Structure 1
C-alpha cells in the first residue's frame, strides 16, 4: 500500500470517527452525558432521560414541578453573560418550535417579504431570485420564438418570390434558346442556298423551303410584372422596419450604459483601503481617539477610478448597503499620479469642476465647489471625468461597510 493510500485511509477513518462521535452525542442525554434511558422530548425539541429531567424538576410525576428546559435556560443565560449577545431578542418557546423556521428549507425565517407579507428565510430569497431568473428566461425565450417565427415567415415570402421569378426566367430562357437554334439553322441553309449557281435549282429550293414566306418566330415575352413586382418585396421590408421601430422604442436599455470602472489605488487616501479586485473601498481601522476627532463626512478620504470618461453616455451603480455616511461623485482632478498617494490627492468637491452626492443623518445633499447646493446640469465639462468614492469615517463600528461598484460579468 502506498503512502498516499495510507494517508487517504487515515483521513477517511478520521472523518468516520468524527461522524460517529457526532452521532453518539445526539444519542446522549445532556444531563447525565450517557445514552438515553426512557427518552422524552420537551416541547422545545430537546431530549432527556425521563429520570434525569424529573430530577432536574425535582418531581416524581410527569405533570408536576416547573416544566422548564435546562438547555434553553443555559442558552438564555449565555445571552445575558456575553456582551455580543445581550442585544439579541429572546422569545418564549412555543409548542411548535418548527413554526419559527421555514417549513421548506428548515432555516430560521429572519427576513420579511413585503410582497407576500410573510416572514421568509435566506434560502427563500435566493429561491425567489432563481424563480425570477427562470421566468425572465422563459419570457425571453417566447420573444425569441416570436421573432424567429416572424423572420422565418418573411424569409419564406422572399424565397417563394425568388423561386417563382427564377422558374419564369428559366422558361423564357428556354424559349429564346429554341429560337436561336432555329435562326442558326435558317442561316446555315440560307448560306448554302446563296452558294447555288444554277438558277433553276435555286428557284426550286426557294419554293420547296418556303423561303418566300416571312419567318414565323414566337415573339419574346416581356417580363411579367406580377412575377417580379417589387412592391411585394417592399411590403415585406416595411413590415420588418415597423417591427424594428417598435422594438427600438425600448432599446437600448438604461443598463446598456452601465459602466464598471475599477478603483485606482494610486489616488486612494492613506486612511482608506482598496479591495484586491479594486471594486470596494473601506475605511481603514483607526484608533478610537483619532476617529472621534474627525468629521464622518470629510471629503478628503476618497479614491478615484482608473478610467475616465470624455464622451458618450455613462452611468454607474454603487452598493452602499446600510452605511449612515458616504460620498459619491465625479471630478476632473487635478491629480499628479507621479507623486503617489497623498492626503490631498483625492479631495472631493474642492473646485468648480467636481460634484458629489452626500448622504448623512438620513438626508441626501448635492455638493459642488465646497458648497452644498443644487447641481446645475446646464454646464458641460470638456475635461475627463473620474468617478470618485468616499466611504466616510467609521465611528464606533457603525460605518465599516464598504462602497462597492456594481459589476456585471460578461456571459
Structure 2
C-alpha cells in the first residue's frame, strides 16, 4: 500500500497530486509545483528542467493535465477516506496546512512566505524578503518564488545551488559538478548568462523566421498580382475574340438570310409537274393537263429547271424528296434549251453536266456518260 501511495505523490510537495502533469522525461508533478520550480513568468521565460532527473526541457513546453493519473489519485484518496472515516478531518487539515509555507525567520508569529532563499535554505515572508534586498551581505543570495521543496532547485548529488549551465549536455549544474563531478572539464556558463543567451537566440530565430515569412508573403503577393493580371488579360482577349467571332457569324447569317434560294422555272416544267407559288416546291400534278399545256413540245422526261444561274462562288442546296423512288438532280455549265434539242434529262451524260441519280435504292454520280456508285453511310429521308 505504501508503494502505491508514493507513486501518487508529487516529489516537490510530497502530497497527493493536484492537477498532475507529466514531463517528456516521464516524471510527474503537480501543475502548481512545477510552475513554482520553473518560476513561470509569461513575460520572461527561460530554460526549464526536470527537478527529478535534471534533464533540460524546451522553454515553450505545453503542460497538459494527466487525466489518467488524476483519476487514480482521486480513486485512491476516496477509497482511503471511506476506510478511515474518523481521520478525514485531520487529514484534510494536515493537507491544507502543508500547502501553506511559512517564513522560517518568523518564530513567534508565523507569517506566510512569499519567497525562498536558496543560499540560506529558508522561506521568507515579505519583510524578510525585503531585508534580503536591502542588506549588501544578503544581496547576492539567490532568491526565488516560494517553494516547499528546496532540493528540487538544487543539485541532487551535491545539494548545492544550480548556478551554472553545462553547454555540452545542456543541463543546469552546481559548482561541485563542474569541479569534481561528472561535468568536469565540460564547457559551462553561468545560469543567468545561459538564460540570456537562450532568450537572445530565440529572439534572433524568431526574427529570422518572421523576416523569411515576410519575404515569402511579398513574393506570394507579387505572384498573385501577376496571375490576376494574366487572367484579366486572358479574359479581355477571349471576350474580344468571342465578340469578333460573333460579329462574323452574325454577318454570315445575315448574308445567308439575304441570299435567295434558286427558284424553279415554271415555264421549263413538264406539264405533269405543278410548281408551288413560292417556286421552291414541285409536285406531281393532280388535275388533268390542259390542252394548251399538252400541245407544247416538252421532253419526255419529267423535269424542271431553276430560274437563276451562277458564274462564281460556292453554293449549297438542300433537296427533300418525298415518296419518289427515282429522281435526279444536277448542274450544268452550259445553257439548257429544249428548243435546241438539249433537254434537262440529259444531265450527266455529257462533259458539261453532272448529276446524282437515285434508283432502286442506289445512288449514282454521273458525268459524261460515266457512272460511279456512291456509298450511302446514313439513311436519307427519301
Q: TM-score, normalised by structure 2?
A: 0.27
Q: Which has the higher contact order (CA 8 A, sep 6+)?
A: 1
Quick check: which has more Rg, 1 or 2?
2
